[in-house]
Chain A
Amino acid sequence: MTETAQSALLEARHVTKIFGGGLFDKTRTIALEDFSMAIESEPPSITAVVGESGSGKTTLARLLLGLADSTSGEVLYKGKNLRRMSGDDWRSFRRDVQVIFQDPFEVYNPFYKVDHVLTTPVEKFNLAKSKQESRALVEDVLHTVGLRPEETLGRYPHQLSGGQRQRVMVARALILKPRLIVADEPVSMIDASLRATVLGSLKQLNQDFGISIIYITHDLTTAYQISDNIIVLYRGSVAEVGDVELVVRQPQHPYTRLLVGSIPLPDPERRWAAEAPAALSVKRVDGRRCKFVDRCPSATDVCLTGVPALFQTNSYRAAACFLYQGSPVLKAEEMDRVFVEAPERRGVRRPDADGGRAAATG
């Protein structure tokens, strides 16, 4: 990996997270296995991490946010290991990396009005010098996400809809002008007609404010709509990665094909095709073979011999599948090489730390 003067904003290096497996605990779950990913702050992008339950995507979110420790491997913020950061480093980290959680109910303390989640970061990070400034800041971000302060502030969480609550959370993330927002299933608990507004706000954050987003979800359709690049996780490992247009429209990994094929399309003319049965009948899937081998309709004997590497089949995609073993191997740490830069994003203005704006170096 080329040593650059400026390290990536947030980086995971060979991160593994195992739950259980202690002395008395027979159930040992490998939530995430040898995962590496680097997120640069330039240019700001939206990367989707897609997987079903048990794929490790929530674990990944927690690890990246510093809410949990990895079993092995490290998570680095600007080159510094999260485990060895000072108090100041953490403050800086919390300003640069923010989160939007899945549940629009639980994230609010029922004792306080919704103003509380907006004013707390302003206070804690000294973003305003007076009450008026603080209020102005809060109203400004609410306007940005399309909410009217007079209809939102002063209310208790239960008086707002799920969509409004989530947009307040987006506003809250915006207040700190972070470089990266980790959005963990931000719309899965919101009504369909309100989802579009929340997703629109997120997209706007990326386009107008130059904020990178990691969009974690199990919903391929919204992932496709909002992101530039996609990482598909299966049982803790990367199955496929690359430009979202390529991966979703022409999936190469059999698991991605299964995922895409299972999406209920809102089109009665195109109903689900019959699911292809597994090619091999395999009793157990342990660490030394492809994890999908017991369900894969294209599996062959080579799939039992080892874990497939990421084979780069195109400048903008790679799949961890022996079907593509003829292609060059992509090292895990360099996964972002296949990421595409959305053309409209080059040269976007990015706000720097003290609120000024600087044009991104292209």
Chain B
Amino acid sequence: MANSTVNNGAKPDILRVEGLRVYYDTPRGSVKAVDGISFALKAEERFGLAGESGSGKSSMALAVMRMIKPPGRIAHGGVWLDSRNVLALPEEQMQRLRLAEIALIAQGSMNSLNPVMRVRDQIIDGFRDHDLLLPRREMEARIHELLERVGLRPDVADMFPHELSGGMKQRVCIAIAISLRPKVIIADEPTSALDVVVQRQVMETLRKVQEDLGASVILVGHDMGLMAQFVDRLGIMYAGKLVEVSPVADIFTTPRHPYTQMLIASLPSLEEKGEFRGIPGLPPSLLDVPPGCAFHPRCPHAMDRCGTEEPLMKEVQPSSWAACHLL
């Protein structure tokens, strides 16, 4: 399934997030990591959530999994998985949901593999936690199948994490994430520490398993190039808010929000040597987000209205949404 064009209403929504707010309470005030985010993820879709450091995207991923720990809390909003209210579930049921229906490949997870357990045992762990242990022979077969899906040799099952390269470890993490055939896979910066060649292999693996499983993927990250290569639809986050959501081709050819425009303009190209165009100013502190539109201090098109009134997401074109007073 190459560049799937998004058909409005053709595929059902598998995950819906509405008005999500995640705040961290610190002695200096509330850090508003996620401040009113809404989006929908369709079945079999690859959705990207792009933002720079301090935009709140990792908190978004954790919130959907209900893995926010104090001093963080989900202050507001709803998350629906397949029309089930995730935030209202008792913890036991939530635990059964995790890995089996919605899996997370956390940032730096390849370094969080248990160093004293073999790969096989770490995969089995997931099964055990969900009371899905199979008799030995079948378990072995499943493990081999999983490793094959991610392009690893079966003898990797006997190895310890330190015997594997970075790319292999990350693929083990993908294998663990898909072991119970979830409907949604959230990958938070899955390739950040990897070289460009290995990165490509890991992303190709992720694409392949997603297509095989018919699952949906949310790719969280800051690498716009990676988003362009992988996702169908892309959401841009800034200071805890979503500023634009569009099919990926539209984001790159006709970005609508000034932040998106400047972000894309700042990407260095391989076509020609050009000027170095950064975005002036600094991303705001999440403790003290500017009033109105969070981007207005850095926006070249800012009007008076932008400093007082927060822009709402408007459907500028079918399936293309942006939050800007200019539109």
Residue on A nearest B247 in the bound complex, by CB: A268
* A192 and B276 contact, Cβ closer than 8 Å, known pairs A221-B269, A265-B229: no
User: Would A197 and B270 count as touching, CB distance under 8 A?
Assistant: no
Q: Ordered nearest first, which 10 A-B pairs have the shortest CB separation?
A: A264-B225, A196-B278, A200-B276, A52-B195, A196-B276, A197-B278, A193-B279, A191-B52, A262-B200, A225-B268
Give the total of A residues in contact with B, Cβ under 8 Å: 39
B266 CB–A CB distance under 8 Å: yes
Query: B281-320 interface mask toward A, CB cutoff 8 Å, 1 = contact, 0 = none?
Result: 0110000000000000000000000000000000000000
User: Chain A's nearest CB lies how many Å from the CB of B265?
Assistant: 9
User: Would B278 and A195 count as touching, CB distance under 8 A?
Assistant: yes
B85 CB–A CB distance under 8 Å: no
Q: How many A-B residue pairs have CB under 8 A?
A: 119
* A266 and B196 contact, Cβ closer than 8 Å, known pairs A221-B270, A222-B268: no
Among A203, A224, A264, the residue within 8 A (CB) of B199 is A264
Chain B residues whose CB sits within 8 angstroms of the CB of A127 once the complex forms: none
Chain B residues whose CB sits within 8 angstroms of the CB of A222 once the complex forms: 268
A53 CB–B CB distance under 8 Å: yes
Chain A residues whose CB sits within 8 angstroms of the CB of B249 once the complex forms: 268-269
Query: B217-230 interface mask toward A, CB cutoff 8 Å, 1 = contact, 0 = none?
Result: 00000111111110
B116 CB–A CB distance under 8 Å: no
User: Would A225 and B229 count as touching, CB distance under 8 A?
Assistant: no
User: Would A266 and B225 count as touching, CB distance under 8 A?
Assistant: yes
Residues of A in contact with B (beta carbons under 8 Å apart): 52-53, 161-164, 191-197, 199-200, 203, 218-222, 224-225, 248-249, 258-260, 262-269, 271-272, 275
User: Chain A's nearest CB lies how many Å from the CB of B12?
Assistant: 24
Residue on A nearest B278 in the bound complex, by CB: A196
User: Would B276 and A197 count as touching, CB distance under 8 A?
Assistant: yes
User: Would A192 and B263 count as touching, CB distance under 8 A?
Assistant: yes
User: Would B224 and A218 count as touching, CB distance under 8 A?
Assistant: no
Residue on B nearest A261 in the bound complex, by CB: B200
Among A163, A224, A267, A275, the residue within 8 A (CB) of B201 is A275
Q: Which of B177-224 contact A (CB under 8 A)?
A: 195-201, 203-204, 222-224
Chain A residues whose CB sits within 8 angstroms of the CB of B227 once the complex forms: 266
* A263 and B266 contact, Cβ closer than 8 Å, known pairs A197-B278, A275-B201: no
Chain B residues whose CB sits within 8 angstroms of the CB of A269 once the complex forms: 249
Chain B residues whose CB sits within 8 angstroms of the CB of A221 once the complex forms: 225, 268-270
Chain B residues whose CB sits within 8 angstroms of the CB of A192 once the complex forms: 52, 222-224, 263, 266-267
Query: B133-165 interface mask toward A, CB cutoff 8 Å, 1 = contact, 0 = none?
Result: 000000000000000000000000000000000
User: Chain B's nearest CB lies how many Å from the CB of A211?
Assistant: 17
Chain A residues whose CB sits within 8 angstroms of the CB of B283 once the complex forms: 161, 191, 193
In Å, the complex CA distance between A207 and B204 comes to: 41
